[in-house]
Amino acid sequence: EADIYQTPRYLVIGTGKKITLECSQTMGHDKMYWYQQDPGMELHLIHYSYGVNSTEKGDLSSESTVSRIRTEHFPLTLESARPSHTSQYLCASSESWTGGDYGYTFGSGTRLTVV
Amino acid sequence: DAKTTQPTSMDCAEGRAANLPCNHSTISGNEYVYWYRQIHSQGPQYIIHGLKNNETNEKASLIITEDRKSSTLILPHATLRDTAVYYCIVRALYNQAGTALIFGKGTTLSVSS
């Protein structure tokens, strides 16, 4: 039973469109994260948040932006999608920075294809 | 930042123990070792973590050497469902606000019957 939900699961969209990837968690976690992963490649941290109205960029530069208006919600937005944004985007949350006793909980991901 | 070195791939027979090594020679004294796995393209799953002592839970055991420069994740009785990419993480991204785990390339474990 998933406690972190990502929608849509798959998205195919044209170049130049604005898109928002949704991520919600029901665990009350303050810490949330976005990772980007190309097929067969490693995960790259692109954004993270330590609470409402507090966000930081990760170690991989990304043209996406994030917001954290509510504890449970951490959407990711691309203002103008390009084919180079084609990738899988994974959202995660945790009760502490290092994961605590249960680690990071990941969603099922959104597979984005920009044509 | 501490970095990890893992073999690219490993094979294991079903029912046998899978021992996945990880080198982290530059680990700091207060950095933990974390293990996650990712099955196909699903989101990674937390397995176990430790600082100095060996750790065991219902999923696996973690053996950390006394000098903390390397560790081994042990899956005692591997099954086909354990086929996955296994990530050893000791690096965290630090800034004034906090820290987040950084994933490397991992080891692809293939369990066969």
Q: Which residue has the higher pLDDT, A59 or A25?
A: A25
- The secondary structure of residue A35, as a DSSP letter, is E
The whole-number average pLDDT for the span B45-73 is 94
Q: Which residue of B has its CA nearest to A41?
A: B105
Cβ of B100 within 8 Å of Cβ of A48? The answer is: yes
The whole-number average pLDDT for the span B66-88 is 96
Check residue A2 and give its pLDDT. 61
A21 Cα to chain B: minimum distance (Å) = 15
Check residue B2 and give its pLDDT. 58
CA A109 distance to own-chain centroid: 8
Q: Name the interface residues of B facing A (CB cutoff 8 Å).
A: 32, 34, 36, 38, 41-47, 49, 92-93, 95, 97-106
A26 Cα to chain B: minimum distance (Å) = 17
B92 phi/psi in degrees, rounded to 5: -135, 145
Which residue shows structure tokens 């080198």?
B23
Q: Which residue has the higher pLDDT, A102 or B19?
A: B19
pLDDT higher than 90, residue A53: yes
- Contacts of residue A33, defined as CB under 8 A and 6 or more positions apart, other chains included, come to A45, A47, A48, A49, A58, A91, A92, A93, A94, A104, B100
pLDDT higher than 70, residue A100: no
The token pair at A33 is: 């994260």
Residue A89, chain B, CB below 8 Å: the answer is no
Check residue A32 and give its pLDDT. 94
Residue A107, chain B, CB below 8 Å: the answer is yes
The whole-number average pLDDT for the span A94-115 is 86
Check residue B92 and give its pLDDT. 66
Burial (0-12, 13-18, 19+ Cβ within 10 Å), B4: buried
The string of pLDDT tens digits covering residues B9-52 is 999 999 999 999 999 999 988 888 999 999 988 999 999 999 88
pLDDT higher than 80, residue A75: yes
B102 Cα to chain A: minimum distance (Å) = 7
